Each structure stands twice: as structure tokens, then as C-alpha cells.
Structure 1
Amino acid sequence: MARGNRMITIGWLRLLRASVFFLCVLAVSSAQAFSVHYRDLSELNKTEWQNGDAVPSPGSEQALNGGRFIIALPSFPDNLRRIGPQTSGRFTATLHNLQLPLVAHIPATHKHPTRWLPMLASQWALSTDKKLLLFRLREDAAWSDGVAVDSEDFAFSGLFITSDTTAAEWQKRQLERLTDGINIYSDKVFAFRIRGKADEALKVLSGFRPFARHVYENRRNWPEAFNWYPEPTTGPYYLAQVRAGESLMFRRLSDWWGDQLPYFKHRFNADQVVFRTMQIHESELQLFTLGELSAIEYRDADYWQSGVVRTAISGKRISLVRLLTSASSQQPPSGLLINPRMQTINNSHERAWLLNQLNIQYIIENDYTPPLQQQSGLLADHAAYAQAQQAPVTPKLTPANITLSYTDDRDRAFLDKLKQSAADHHINLQLKKLSPAALSDKLALAEYELVWLRLNAPLSNEGLVSLFNKTRGQVFIGGIPKAGIEADPDNPADSARRIEQYLLEENLYTPGPAMHYTQAAYWQWLHLPAQGAPYYAEKLFDPFSPLYGGLFWINKKQRADILAKPQNGHKKIRVEVINPDQPHSQDSEQ
């Protein structure tokens, strides 16, 4: 009996020690974690609310509603989640645009001031001590399933993103760097508690796009159970149909609450938006010329001038258009990454020799009409790029074959130029297309020779650091030890600068072309506003972007007529040039 009591006592002591340890850990983690506080609305009686700028709708009063818009999907996504494992693919940005931000930020240019455009929020404010960023949600804002959007959605979203079980380390770190939580004042009023600089918090957190609490609060079997779940949206479209490996169809809400807002007038006109996956035997150009795609977009001017393309579209009722974008706009970085562990090229001088054989800078500056410029580097706000000045040294063993891996067909025309330049110098540059997931694996294991990197968004300091920090980012670049050592997430500004400088000086990374225009071919049943596009637009045929998407509309009768008789007899190919800074003069070129 005594033995039994002793065992019970020891068991309770162990349990007590474990409980004390758990409480200590909880106390430490709670001090750092995202938290939600409930406060009285009367605390905000003296708040000076901001209403935003009066920005006119970029849509057209002539727009017609209805029709189906079909665009190509190069590869079917791994899932349809915005967050969590395996969500770094190109389609994640499309899913992101299905949701409205609190307030949209229109960056300043040399001709235009910074402007703020309220979307999910009707008002916002910064407290006098700059410790709170307050938002008042629109009374009629609702999810696509009819449930009202409220402050609890934002509180839940913060907890969801920062939860370890969500496995969204990158988003978690970004959020916790800017805020330690949310204060809820009412169903429609809340505030982020700011960490650090208020200006940065305003710029980033105003773009916060929530998750529907009524859907995600029961996240059993996360993430697998949500891979193909049709997430409710706050924008005008929702996922209506998934054909695995083939297509995704999004349907327009007929009673979208945002239709009443002036900025959204005459926009998002198509009833359906379909993303069609190209099969192995199909090409985007082939599907387009058959009328199975509504439009195709390419930045490369040479693509439209190639004989194959001109033959395919000549004589058809197809229009070509070039949209000039702001030269001050930040572009996602793209460029050539060289593995320092290549067997035949071992130092910066030999890498300088290889870059001379590829002629990247010469091709960018001389092979394009209109001419291109070279990107500045990996960081969005880097000064002009200057190529490293190491003297080229021919390797002792000249490589006969080198593999360059890439993921995006939009880069193929440029990479073909590099391949030809390499061939001129007796190097067989093998271009190998990989899926984003496969390339991520290769990068993480340093199993690559050359990689053409193309990121989905401009890189911040934190973003660059995360690329070389194995525990922080969704994509990890291995094989560059010094960059990994420099990747200090607690000091991202200095760390990012040192990493970028090292990569550029050692010829490990060479920036690609900066293209301040985008081009599209589209069937003439599609129509655009007379003014073309606002100066902050990055594309003409983006179906979802809250800032500049959904400008086009479809004339269904014209579509039927054109598909019945696609030829128009005109052999000359003209490119319409849209310069948003000169909305009343649209030039064209032969």
C-alpha cells in the first residue's frame, strides 16, 4: 500500500513539474505570439479617420456583361490553397487576387502621387502614437457564400497564419515582424497593434486579405482536406468547377456587394473565367489560333515577329496590343543563378568567362525592339546594375555541356538566345524545363548547374534573406554557403544587402531583362476601354486583380460570328501601343 501511495505521489510530482514547465513555455511563447484583445469602441471617439482618394473606375461604360473568358494555365497547380505547404507556385498569385485587400495602395510615379483606395475597409486611421493601425470594414462586405466579413475574420486570420500547425513560416514571420496582434472594437472596427515603423505597417497590412473564419476554424486534416476546397472569396469571382489536370472555372457573382462601389463600376464583366491546362501535345499558340483561348500574353517582342507566330495569326480577326508600364514600377526579379559547385567552373573569374559566352547583357541591350534594360538586382529598390569587373579566366577544362533549368515558358525565347550565344562559343547549353516544385527541390539540394530564376513578386529584404535561410522561406537556395551564413532574419536589411552584393560581385547571379511593357494577342470579340488601361496596370487581360483587373468585356454575338468565319483577309500585322500616360493618343506600328 505504501509503495502504491509513493508511486502515486511521484506521478503527481512529475505531472506538477510538467504542468509548471508547460505554463512557463506558454508564458514565454504568449509574450511573442499574435494575440487578440477586445476593447471598447468609445476609446476611438477622437480618431481622425481617413476616407481615401477618389479614383475613377478604369472600366468603360460601353462594357457588356456576360460571356466566357478562357486563358492558358501552363501547368495544373499542386493545390488551391493560398497558404501552407507547396503554395509558392505561380497560381497562388491568382488565388490571392480573388480576395480584396483592406485598402489598395497605388504607388507614386514621376507623374502621379501615391494614392490609397479603400476596398474591404471604408476608412482607416493611424493612432497619434503610431502604435495602432485602425480599420473600419464596409457594412455590406460579404464572403461569396453570403456570410458577412467582420473583425473576427481578421483576428482569426492572424491566429491562423501564425499557428505552427498551419506551416506558413514565411507569412507568419512577415506578420509577426509588423504586428503582435489585433484589438477588436466592434464587428466592423479593429486595429493591428504595430511593431516597428508605422509607414511600413500601413503599406503592408493595408493589403491584408483575410481567411473566412467560418470555414477555416474547423481545419481538421489541414492541409490535405483544403487542397481543393472552394474557398469563399471577397472579390467578384469564386471557384465553381475543378477538372483535375484539365481546367479551373470561376463564376461571377450576380449580386456581388462590391458592384456598388464606384471604382468597380463596369469591371469584371465576364460571367465565367476558365483556366485551361495545356496538354503535352498542345501549345498556347495552337489553342489560341483555334479560338479555344481568348487571349495570350507575352513580354518578348520577338515572339510576335517570329515566322511561326506571324503565319499562325495572319489573316485572322486577331489584334495585337502593347501596354507600356511605368518605368518606376517594381518588377519581380528574374535572372541567371550559377551553382558555385559546378565541376568545371570554380571561381568568380571562370564564371565571368561563362557570362561572356552567354552574352546576357549584350542580348538585353541590343536584341530587342523596343529596347530593354537590365534589372538592377534581386532587391526591388536596388540601384542600377553594374556587372562585376573580375577579369574572365578560361577554365582549365572547358565545359562542353551545361544544363540550364527553368520553369516558365515566358522565358524560353530569351533563353533560346542564350543557347545560341553559347553554341557560337562551342558550348551546348541544354535548356531543361522543370515544374516549380521540382526546381525547388533541386535548388534546396544544390543539384543544379545554371538556373533561370523567376520570382512571383518583388523581393523585400526579408524575402531575399528567406531564400537562403533553410527554416524561413518557402523556397530555399542551397549550395551557396556564404549566403546562408549571411542570412540573418533578425537583421534583414543589412543581411539582404550583403547577400545581394556577394552574389553580384562573385558572378553567382546576373539580373535578367527589365521589361516595362507587356504584350497580348486577343480575338476581336474581346474589347478594352477606349483609354486602354490606368498607368498602374501591369496587364490588360488580368481577370481578377482588384486594382486593374477585369477591364475587358466580351461581345458574344461577335464571338459566334468570328468563330464561324475567323479570317478577315488582312495579311498585315499591326501592334497597337497603349501608353497610359497619354490616354488620348494610341499609336500603332507595322
Structure 2
Amino acid sequence: MMKKGLTTLAVSIAALFSFQALSADLPNNLEWETNDSAPTFASPKATFGGTFRTYTLSFPQTFRTVGPDSNGSFRSWILQANLPPLIKHPNTNEWLPGLAQSWAFGDDNKTVYFKLNPKATWSDGKPVTADDYQFMLKLMRSKDIVAPWYNDFFTNEIADVISFNKYTIAVVSAKARNRDELIEYTNLMPRPAHFYGKPKVDKNNDGIDDKFVRKYNFKPEPVTGPYYIDKIKKGKNIAFKHVGEDWWGYENKYNQHRFNVEKINIKVIRDADIALKHFEKGNLDSFDLVRPDLWHEKSDGKNYQNGYIQKAWVYNQAAVGAGGLWLNTAKPMLDDINVRKGIMYATDFDMMIAKVLRNDYSRKPNGMGFGHPGYDNTDIKAPKFDAKKAIEYFEKAGFSKVGSDGIRTNDKGERLSFAVTYSQQSFTPRVAVLKEQAKLAGLDFELNLIDGSSMFKYVLEKKHDISFHNMGTGDIPAYWEYFHSDNANKPQTNHFTNFTSPELDGLIDSFKSEFDIEKKRALSREIQQVIADANVIVPGYMVPYARAGFWRWMKLPEQMATKQTGYLFHGWGFAQTFSTFWIDEEIKKETKAAMKSGKTFEPVTIIDDTYKL
């Protein structure tokens, strides 16, 4: 039975979408689906044009999205400049057409067929075809990209990509999966074969340049989405440009009235507080006020009171990824579970949230995240701060002496001291609270601030003792990249704790291959319990909202947010803002004139709790 809102398209009417004649190898019993009945979430009032001015804390180490140093914060800007075959509705979770106009499932529970939009083009004007999918598979399997996770996924999880004609493909999973998960695994974005061309050096004879990593480090690919990287001033600035109002994607109703600004200018400003000053001077169009001190204290100046800058706080129901404090068990002392258990009780996130974060944030119950119904182990609770319990575990580990500085030592004279690595100056007060509270248990947290993308590179290289950071997530939790022994003690992987066990490997392997959704969820809960018992992630905090200040010329739909809105203004992307904002140039002129003349407007603060849990 077809899902509500889906239209079955018989193969016999494929000509309606201007596809080439189907290959004889294409099954003739496929039921093609599309979706044109889900609600839209943009505003028809939106207008096109203008430059959105924003910032980033650090210049990216690369513009590649695979390979060394590619897993930085700027990566999302690049990835979301492309469309996958299908996109997920941010409120209803229905699948919508993206790069593909329609899709169908094979009888084997492994294969999904896609009819690509024949009007789809790369940002350089070249058509998107099945060849780009064939190249994608070749690229991701190549050792030349130096990306073990992608090599594994596209070898062991994706069996094949089959081309039937220029615009019809099938992506074949290596194992049977239920339909929702099958789409998640096969909903892959192509790579522009014409951009890479024939490699000059190919000793591996795999069709990929042996010097791929260096050659394409700062050479952005063409994209399928509306924005491409136009200008780069290394270390200073990155500018994106819209391909134009005739972008092929606007024939899709779910893209209409979105991606409205003509240019996006991203300035590198290495300190968030300095960036705030740039914003309040009018040099940036919006500024995220997620931090409680920003919302409650620092966003109440003259420009806010005079109504030139407005504020909005919207709640969401987005899933939360793994994170908090990641304990690197490859480091001395952290390989002792009693030390790790002691750290669990000696880390006072609750006081941090109350004292520094004004209880705006919530404690994450589980180090592996939150908001994955059925997959989350709800029996796991974040431990409360308890110095006495922490001391008991530290003494079990041999740290029975207390030095003159209050920090515990063992018989070898080793201090119970670990560096906590973090990425932003604004996080210093948060980590400082953890440091002060940990002293009550004789534990020393050294503050190790490494700015921006350099911090994440440091952690990927496994140089950290303890890393204070959070990761993103999908609808289904990921485990292999974080905890399978295949990735332990290796640079450029997300195995931040280096904790492994045969039991955990077995569970993760079973989770990856399990077809039955309820069994898969049960395996997920079991995996989370093993990870919790290992005491390798101190559950941190989660932020169930988006908050921003913005100049009054920045406009949003009447229903300004969706369930998945992570940012109100952040460029584009189904996982970010959904890019429904626009710039009203007339109001911009009006506001600037008012500021010169002294005219004021009513101050505006909007709080939207539609999706508050």
C-alpha cells in the first residue's frame, strides 16, 4: 500500500517526465512514487536579491568534503550546496523529490530506483547524469581520497550503482533493509565526473588522481544546489553566489520561495564577541544568540531598543547527536575504568547549565544523543555530580593521596590531571565551572583552547585527553564511526574515545545488517548501554531551540520555523535554516535612513514555542 500523499506512477507514463526509453534490464513491475501533496513551508511574500552577510570562526582547512581535514564545521556549507535524490519534509518527515523526480523500490529490499530530473544541472551548466553517480561510486571507493570511512561505506554498505539510461539509476544496498532505512542509505549525492576528468597520475588504475587530496584541497566542486563558491580570499573571506532565478530546482514546489538571497558573504572573524560587535554596527545581517549571555545580557543595546535589530527565539524538535566530554582511552590513566567512572561523577554539567547557561540548555541524558524514537535507551540517565562517589572510584584506581594543590596522585606520583580541549573562547566559562567542581574530587581539568577547525583536526588526530564537543546526527544513530575497532587509534576518524570491545564490535555489526526495525532498535539500545557502562562519554548538554538577532530588513515566513530548524539564518540546507528568509531592500533603506534621522521603531522580540517539548 502506498503512503498517504504519494502518487503511484506507472512505468508506462515515464514519458511524462521526458526520460529516455527504459532499458530492458529495468524491472517492468516497478511502482514509481513522487510527492506533490505535502505542505510547503516557505512564504510567497519572499523576494529575490541582496547579499546576506554572515561570518565563520575559522577558515576551512579544505574545500573537499572527503579526505584529510574535511570534517570541519564549514563542511555543512559545502555539502548542503547539493541536493540528494530525495529530501525529507522538516515537519511531516515525508520524502519529497529532490534531484530525483520519482523513485521506486525493488523486490529485494536492497534496491532503490531513481529517475533524475532531466533539467538538473551542475552550477557550471553541465547536466547531471547517471555518469556522475558512477563516478561517485568510483571516487568514494578509491584509496586516493584517504577517507577510510567512505571507503568502507561505499564498499561494504553500497553494493552497486546501476545506470539504465542517462537519467535512470538504481542504488543497491549490500544488505536488505526496511524501506525507511533503505532510502537513508541509498539517497546519495552524485559527484561531477566532468570536473575531475581523466587523472594525470593514476598508478592505482582506479580512475582517480593519485594526488587527489592535494590537487583538490582548495578547488571547490560545481554543485547541484542554488549556491556555489564564487570567490575565496584565503584566511579572510568566502563568497557564495546564486546560480540565478532560473535555477533548475525552482520547478520543484518545495524549493520555491526559498534560497532567496543572491549572494552570501562569509567573513572570517575568529572571536564570536568581536563578531557580535560587527553585527551591531550593521556589518553582519544576523547573529545567533544561542548563548544565554548573548540573549539575556548582550542584546539589549540602543539598536535593539530602537527597533533596528529584532530578536527571535524558536523551539525545535530536532534530534541531538552524541557528545559532551569524550574520554580518550588511549591516553594514560584514561584506560582505567575506575578513573573514567570517577570523572563521570566529578563532572558537574548541571551546575554549568544553571550557573553559566541560565538553564536555557538541557542536560543530555545519554552520551550518544537524544531524539531517536525507539533507538534511544531511555533507561540511561546522565550521572549527577557526586564528589564522594568520584573519590571512591579514584581511590580504587590508586589515586589515594592528595597533593598540596588538592589534586590526587598515585604511588607513581602521577597527578589526576587531564587537558580538556575545546574550540571557542566563549566556552571557557563553561569548562571553568567543570574545572572548579572537579577539584572537589581531587581531579584537575586543564583548559586547552584550540580555535576553530584546528581544534577538530587536533581531536581527529587523537591528540586529546578529553574533548569537549558535540556531533550532529541523522534520524538513525551512528555507531560504527564512533566505536567500531576498525576506526580506533587511527587519525582522521570519529573514534574520539578509542574504546573498543569484541562485544561492542559484534553489536555494531549486527546493528548495521539488521533488517527488522524493532530488532534494530533493540540493538541500538543495547549498544548504548554498553557505551554507557564503559563510561567514555560524559553526557553534555543539548540546545532545543534556535535564537537570533537580526536587522529588521531580514524577513522570515509567518510560521518562521519548522520542527527541524537549527538556525534561523545560516545560508541554506534542509538540516540548517531551510533557507526561507529573504532581504527586504526597501526596509533596509528605510532603516538606514531612520538611524540617520533618529527615527525609532517599536522593539521586537518573538518567542515561538510551537515545537517546544
TM-score by length of 2: 0.77
1:155 and 2:171 are equivalent in the alignment:
no
Contact 1:170 1:473 in 2 (8 A): no
1:310 and 2:300 are equivalent in the alignment:
yes
Contact 1:170 1:474 in 2 (8 A): no
> 70, 76, 86: which is aligned to 2:69?
86
1:334 and 2:314 are equivalent in the alignment:
no
2:79 aligned residue: 96
2:266 aligned residue: 275
Question: How far apart, in 1, do the equivalents of 2:473 and 2:425 lie?
Answer: 17
Q: Secondary structure at the match of 1:558?
A: helix
2:377 aligned residue: 383
Contact 1:378 1:464 in 2 (8 A): no
**Bigger radius of gyration among the two:** 1
Contact 1:532 1:580 in 2 (8 A): no
Q: Which amino acid aligns with 1:204?
A: E
Contact 2:220 2:229 in 1 (8 A): yes
2:183 aligned residue: 203
In structure 2, relative to structure 1, the CA distance for the partners of 1:530 and 1:416 (3 Å cut) is farther
1:129 aligned residue: 108
Q: Which amino acid aligns with 2:27?
A: L
1:432 aligned residue: 448
Contact 1:157 1:211 in 2 (8 A): yes
Contact 1:468 1:477 in 2 (8 A): no
How many angstroms does 1:128 deviate by?
2.2
Question: How far apart, in 1, do the equivalents of 2:273 and 2:353 lie?
Answer: 29
Question: How far apart, in 2, do the equivalents of 1:134 and 1:345 lie?
Answer: 48
1:263 aligned residue: 254
Contact 1:314 1:571 in 2 (8 A): no
How many angstroms does 1:416 deviate by?
4.7
Contact 2:553 2:584 in 1 (8 A): yes
In structure 2, relative to structure 1, the CA distance for the partners of 1:294 and 1:39 (3 Å cut) is same
Contact 2:56 2:270 in 1 (8 A): no
Contact 1:314 1:572 in 2 (8 A): no
- Give the stretch that moved more between structures: 529-538 or 140-149: 529-538
2:169 aligned residue: 190
- Give the stretch that moved more between structures: 275-284 or 440-449: 440-449
1:576 and 2:606 are equivalent in the alignment:
yes
Question: 1:462-500 CA deviation, whole Å, 9 max, x = no partner?
Answer: 222358724877325577554599556982639987775
> 498, 501, 507: which is aligned to 2:535?
507
Question: How far apart, in 1, do the equivalents of 2:333 and 2:602 lie?
Answer: 49
1:242 aligned residue: 232
Q: Which amino acid aligns with 2:290?
A: R
- After TM superposition, list the pairs within 5 Å mapping 1:1-16 onto structure 2: none
Contact 1:102 1:209 in 2 (8 A): yes
What is the alpha-carbon root mean square deviation over aligned residues?
Answer: 3.6
Q: Secondary structure at the match of 1:83?
A: coil
Percent identity of the aligned residues?
Answer: 20
In structure 2, relative to structure 1, the CA distance for the partners of 1:427 and 1:191 (3 Å cut) is closer
Question: 1:347-376 CA deviation, whole Å, 9 max, x = no partner?
Answer: 555555544444213544786344624242
1:180 and 2:159 are equivalent in the alignment:
yes
Q: Which amino acid aligns with 2:230?
A: A
1:544 aligned residue: 572
In structure 2, relative to structure 1, the CA distance for the partners of 1:512 and 1:566 (3 Å cut) is farther
- Give the stretch that moved more between structures: 361-370 or 62-71: 361-370
- Give the stretch that moved more between structures: 377-386 or 92-101: 377-386
Contact 2:462 2:489 in 1 (8 A): no
How many angstroms does 1:569 deviate by?
8.2
For structure 2, which runs of at least 5 residues remain unmatched after alignment? 1-20, 201-210, 409-416, 513-522
1:46 and 2:29 are equivalent in the alignment:
yes
Contact 1:251 1:272 in 2 (8 A): yes
1:392 aligned residue: 390
2:469 aligned residue: 453
How many angstroms does 1:103 deviate by?
0.5
Contact 2:553 2:585 in 1 (8 A): yes
How many angstroms does 1:509 deviate by?
1.5
> 214, 219, 224: which is aligned to 2:214?
224
Q: Secondary structure at the match of 1:49?
A: strand
Contact 1:299 1:410 in 2 (8 A): no
Question: How far apart, in 1, do the equivalents of 2:272 and 2:107 lie?
Answer: 61
2:364 aligned residue: 374
Question: How far apart, in 2, do the equivalents of 1:136 and 1:54 lie?
Answer: 19
- Give the stretch that moved more between structures: 383-392 or 195-204: 383-392
How many angstroms does 1:125 deviate by?
0.4
2:7 aligned residue: none
Question: How far apart, in 2, do the equivalents of 1:219 and 1:207 lie?
Answer: 27
Question: 1:335-354 CA deviation, whole Å, 9 max, x = no partner?
Answer: 01234577788855555554
Q: Which amino acid aligns with 2:63?
A: L
For structure 1, which runs of at least 5 residues remain unmatched after alignment? 1-37, 583-590
Question: How far apart, in 1, do the equivalents of 2:117 and 2:335 lie?
Answer: 59
Question: How far apart, in 2, do the equivalents of 1:129 and 1:463 lie?
Answer: 27
- Give the stretch that moved more between structures: 476-485 or 370-379: 476-485
Question: How far apart, in 2, do the equivalents of 1:339 and 1:300 lie?
Answer: 28
> 66, 69, 86: which is aligned to 2:49?
66
How many angstroms does 1:502 deviate by?
4.9
Contact 2:390 2:441 in 1 (8 A): no
Question: How far apart, in 2, do the equivalents of 1:453 and 1:499 lie?
Answer: 21
In structure 2, relative to structure 1, the CA distance for the partners of 1:92 and 1:279 (3 Å cut) is closer
Question: 1:229-288 CA deviation, whole Å, 9 max, x = no partner?
Answer: 231111111111001101110011112111122111111111101111014697221111
Contact 1:104 1:206 in 2 (8 A): no
Contact 1:105 1:203 in 2 (8 A): no
Q: Secondary structure at the match of 1:159?
A: helix
1:475 and 2:483 are equivalent in the alignment:
no
> 170, 187, 193: which is aligned to 1:213?
193
1:558 and 2:587 are equivalent in the alignment:
yes
- After TM superposition, list the pairs within 5 Å mapping 1:338-353 onto structure 2: 338-339=327-328, 347-353=336-342
Q: Which amino acid aligns with 1:268?
A: F
Question: How far apart, in 2, do the equivalents of 1:466 and 1:481 lie?
Answer: 8
In structure 2, relative to structure 1, the CA distance for the partners of 1:480 and 1:271 (3 Å cut) is closer
TM-score by length of 1: 0.80
Question: How far apart, in 2, do the equivalents of 1:209 and 1:409 lie?
Answer: 36
Question: 1:22-47 CA deviation, whole Å, 9 max, x = no partner?
Answer: xxxxxxxxxxxxxxxx9934633321
Q: Which amino acid aligns with 1:261?
A: N
Q: Which amino acid aligns with 1:360?
A: F
Contact 2:485 2:500 in 1 (8 A): no
